């Protein structure tokens, strides 16, 4: 029995004055790689833009650990469109926790959480 690995992402979140800058630097979905029956290194060589694996990105700028309140959603209209991958949002006053939900093309979700002071 093979243990399925979860999707992984490199996400950078910074507070710059009154703005939160969220940048997804990389994303890999082992489920998609497995579904296409490819080796990960071969897959990365053929699919050079990680955004091709992503169905949607949603961001909560004040995540409380329970409810996910969408402050921004990036859901491309056409299948040929890609998510932006870089977002600027108004920062809440004071420290906050930012959550980024990435959903791949097979519907698998991953949640990246970072506290921003």
Q: So where are the chain's domains?
A: 8-116
pLDDT at 45: 55
Confidence of residue 57 (pLDDT cuts 50, 70, 90): very high
Residue 86 has pLDDT above 50, yes or no: yes
Q: E strands, 1-117, where?
A: 8-16, 19-28, 54-60, 72-74, 86-90, 96-104, 109-116
Q: What is the DSSP letter of 68?
A: -
Domain 8-116: homologous superfamily in CATH: Immunoglobulins (2.60.40.10)
* pTM of the predicted protein model: 0.87
The torsion angles phi and psi of 52, rounded to 5 degrees, stand at -65, -20
Q: Do 24 and 87 meet the contact criterion of CB atoms below 8 Å apart?
A: no
pLDDT tens-digit map of 1-39: 456 788 999 999 999 989 999 999 999 888 877 777 666
Confidence of residue 66 (pLDDT cuts 50, 70, 90): very high
Cβ-in-10-Å burial (0-12, 13-18, 19+) of 46 comes to: exposed
Q: d(Cα 43, Cα 33) in Å, to the nearest integer?
A: 7
């Amino acid at each position: 029995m093979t243990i399925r690995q979860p999707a992984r992402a490199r996400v950078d979140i910074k507070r710059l004055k009154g703005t939160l800058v969220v940048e997804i630097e990389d994303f890999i979905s082992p489920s998609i790689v497995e579904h296409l029956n490819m080796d990960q290194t071969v897959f990365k060589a053929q699919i050079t833009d990680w955004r091709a694996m992503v169905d949607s990105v949603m961001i909560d700028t004040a995540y409380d650990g329970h409810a996910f309140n969408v402050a921004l959603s990036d859901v491309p209209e056409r299948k040929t469109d890609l998510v932006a991958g870089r977002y600027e949002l108004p920062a809440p006053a004071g420290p906050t926790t930012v959550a980024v939900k990435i959903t791949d093309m097979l519907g698998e979700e991953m949640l990246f959480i970072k506290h921003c002071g």
